[in-house]
Chain A
Amino acid sequence: MTINTKNENGKLALALTGRLDTNTAPELEDELKLEGVSEIAFDFSGLEYISSAGLRVLMTAQKAMMACGGRMTIAHPNAMVRGVFEMTGLSSVFEIVP
């Protein structure tokens, strides 16, 4: 998995390519330096699939944003990833755009 990260004035933009699973989840966790961050924008257009290890990282980030009144968005998940969000009920928790 590759992660392309940009941080502009507290807005953290991450574009993920590949697989987000137990092997790669720690990488994403490392990338998520949330100090001073008020908005996280994930671009999932390059993400093949996500496992529960990846979901945990996303949930942790979502909780952190809710706690500080920030916002987290997930853009362009593929059908597989969207299916995982739905089957786990997380589609109602995450803000998925468009």
Chain B
Amino acid sequence: MNRRWIVFAGAAAVFYSVLVFFSWSALTQRAFRQTESMLDYAMLDLDATLNGSIDTMLMHAADSITEQLGRPRRLSTEEIALIARQRDLDEVNVVARDGTFLASTDGRLVGLCMADRPKSAEFLVLTNGVRHALSHHFRPGAHNPDVRRKYVGVAFPGGDGLVQVGIDEVRVTGMFPSIMGFIFDAWLLGEKGFFLCADLSDGHLISNPARHRDEAKFLAETGYDPAAPGVVEDGRTTFQATLFGVPHDCRAVVFCGHRIVAALPPAEYYSTRTFYAALIASVLGLVMLAFVLLVRRIDIDSGRLRSFYAAEEDRRAKEYAIASTIQNSALPAPPPPDDAFSLAAAMHPAREVGGDFYDSFRLDATHVAFLVADVSGKGVTAALYMMTSKTLIKDKLAAVRDPAEALTQVNAELCANNPANMFLTAWVGVLDLETGVVTYANAGHNPPVKLEGPKGGGREVGFVTPKSGPVLAFMDGVRYKSFTLRLAPGETLFLYTDGVTEALDAKGALFGEDRLRDAVLAAGDASPASICHVVRAAVAAFAAGTPQADDITVLAVRYTGRGGGKGARRRFPATQSGIAAAGDFLDEALAENGPSAESLSPSLHVILDEIASNIVKHSGATGFELEFEPVSDPPGVKLVFSDDGAPFDPLAHADPDPTLPAAERPIGGLGIMMVRKMSSSVSYRRSGDRNVFSATVAVPSPS
């Protein structure tokens, strides 16, 4: 489980918490609004019921007075007092249509005009013949502000004056238990809410919900405290109060000497909040869990993909290393140059190893084979196929010496066993060092560039006519044809693979044959190695950082022609293979000098072997020159060795004692002794910085 995954799971948990929190808040708001509207409704209902009940009672009383009097008229103080007492009223006024108080329980009013008293004047609306009754709320009395009195007016028929009755709050308070108690007891507030109504003076409950009737006789016993913080008894403010041990949302109002509390337990609406919140939380939780699991699944899958790609990348890198090793191990050192030719080659592998290769080797003293090839495909398969092909071509070429015949045989063998359906292109040439003639065969490969030697004003450069057979390993039974071209001394043939001409620049343009020709021409007089380098550099400059898509292989061979003119002198490198090449050279020279010279072959070979191996092993020379010189008096052959090694006279050393028993003989010194004994004359001189050793072998006389 990685760090990214933990962060994601954490974010999901936070997101979930926020969603649940907002859901909870929304539900709380909803419950609060429902509680508020329920309490609003309850308080409106309460107000309408309480005031309505008293209004109705007073209107009945006033109506009965208008019926009793029939019409507005004057009454004596005793008459009006009796009317008021009979109906439990604190004040009764009879008012004429013009507002004049005709009779009143308050004698001071009689004769005054109702229109002059601001509040009372409102009742004169009843004299318009339309309106029948009007009520006022309790308010402080005109003469005694401590007495709160409520008035109701009722019109005589036709608006002909009115009767106004008043009742003091104190009187209503006294009537409250009998009139109002039953209302509260039966009154519902929601499903579980209730009203408490208590006498303001002693706190005695006149109303108590049936559930709690036995628990409290006084308001204080319910747990309600009017002095508690937050309690506002205006009928509009909701506050919390703990009643019967349970917190309730409450509103309270003081009315007619009584404290009325409407209480709604939280279970009423908040319980649904809990239910819905739990529901939303679980549904959200399931959705989030499903989402998280889905993302986890994707995470695991993409992790697998990543590790798969990493493993694949690793595998490719290893394959590249293996293929690269194979490819590099297959590239030979060029054959040692001599007077007649020089050759250089290079291969620059691409990011992914392809199947380019080159080869060059001597077929004999006068023939050098060289080739460039390109196996289809990349990687280890191509590299292994390359090895097979390279070995086959070299073997066949060494055996048959003719490029076309060699390619024909190689093709037959490759076709016989090609399960991977690989194929390759190849251009194979054999340079005759005597004549400069190149015999070549082409299996679908790019035509080489021929760089002519300097003549007159400059050089000529052009592609070898692309005579070609099909690619190798593609079609069985193909017979390739050899063609020839001739290199004059100083002329160069440049071979390459399509990695050169098909190199791309940043815009996707090809390097192409024209640029290649220009690059070869620009290299001009430089050595074959420099030509290879110049072309490679030109391709790199052209690509300018665009990744190399294919291997780039270059090979340049220059014919310099046989130097010296006597035809029997040649330079060899101071190596074991140089000795072998010198042996071949000796055989050729002997063959050109007839059977009498050939009869000297064993002796001459032994002399060559002894002197040349001395030079290679002891002199530190970089190379040696061997001159084959037929001599006539007496008839025989003279071999002249010249090397650039440290001064060394082999003749200055004493011959070993040939009479010693074998076990005691030092191994060494035998060689020079053999040379002495086989030669008719030997000589050594130091010429400049060279050792020059010559040995002459005479043809034995017939006797």
Contacts and interface: CB of A to CB of B under 8 A. Distances in A.
Contacts of B613: 22, 51, 53
B662 A93 contact: yes
Contacts of B602: 48-49, 80
Contacts of A66: 662-663
Given A52-B671, A87-B673, A23 B663 contact: no
A21 B667 contact: no
Nearest to B660: A89
B576 A63 contact: no
Query: In this complex, which of B605, B657, B662 has the most chain A Cβ atoms within 10 angstroms of its Cβ?
Result: B662
Interface in B225-283: none
B583 interface: yes
A50 B673 contact: no
B662 A59 contact: yes
Interface in A12-38: 19, 21-23
Interface in B499-526: none
B2 interface: no
B674 A51 contact: yes
B361 to A, nearest CB: 16
Nearest to A49: B602
Given A80-B603, A89-B658, A59 B609 contact: no
30 contacts: A21-B609, A22-B576, A22-B579, A22-B609, A22-B612, A22-B613, A23-B576, A23-B583, A49-B601, A49-B602, A49-B603, A51-B605, A51-B610, A52-B610, A52-B674, A53-B613, A53-B671, A55-B670, A59-B665, A62-B662, A63-B662, A66-B663, A80-B602, A80-B603, A87-B658, A87-B677, A87-B678, A89-B657, A90-B658, A93-B665
A49 B663 contact: no
Given A48-B605, A90-B658, 10 more contacts: A21-B583, A22-B579, A51-B674, A53-B609, A59-B662, A60-B667, A63-B663, A84-B674, A88-B673, A93-B665
A56 interface: yes
B605 A49 contact: yes
B663 A51 contact: no
A87 B610 CA distance: 15
Given A23-B579, A49-B606, A53-B609, A88 B670 contact: yes
A contact patch SS: helix
Interface string A50-82: 111101100110110010000000000000100
B292 interface: no
Contacts of A49: 601-603, 605-606
Interface of B: 576, 579-580, 583, 601-603, 605-606, 609-610, 612-613, 616, 657-659, 661-663, 665, 667, 670-671, 673-674, 677-678
B contact patch SS: helix
A30 to B, nearest CB: 15
A50 B607 CA distance: 10
Contacts, number: 75
A56 to B, nearest CB: 5
B658 A51 contact: no
A55 B672 CA distance: 13
Interface residues of A, number: 25
A88 B658 contact: yes
Contacts of B662: 59, 62-63, 66, 90, 93
Query: In this complex, which of B609, B659, B665, B667 has the most chain A Cβ atoms within 10 angstroms of its Cβ?
Result: B609
B661 A93 contact: yes
A63 B661 CA distance: 10
Query: In this complex, which of B610, B661, B674, B678 has the most chain A Cβ atoms within 10 angstroms of its Cβ?
Result: B674
B576 A52 contact: no
Contacts of A59: 662, 665, 667
Query: In this complex, which of A52, A60, A90, A93 has the most chain B Cβ atoms within 10 angstroms of its Cβ?
Result: A52
A52 B605 CA distance: 11
Given A22-B579, A89-B658, A51 B606 contact: yes
A23 B577 CA distance: 8
A35 to B, nearest CB: 20
Nearest to B671: A52
A33 to B, nearest CB: 20
A21 B674 contact: no
Given A59-B662, A63-B663, A93-B661, A87 B609 contact: no
A19 B605 contact: yes
A21 B671 contact: no
A78 B151 CA distance: 166
Contacts of A55: 670
B659 A51 contact: no
Contacts of A53: 609, 613, 671
B674 A23 contact: no
A89 B659 CA distance: 6
Nearest to A78: B602
A52 to B, nearest CB: 3
Nearest to A51: B609
Nearest to A62: B662
B526 to A, nearest CB: 35
Query: In this complex, which of A19, A22, A55, A80 has the most chain B Cβ atoms within 10 angstroms of its Cβ?
Result: A22
Contacts of A84: 606, 674
A21 B605 CA distance: 9
A26 B634 CA distance: 37
In the A-B complex, the 8 residue pairs with the closest CB atoms: A89-B658, A52-B671, A49-B602, A93-B662, A51-B609, A21-B609, A22-B613, A80-B602
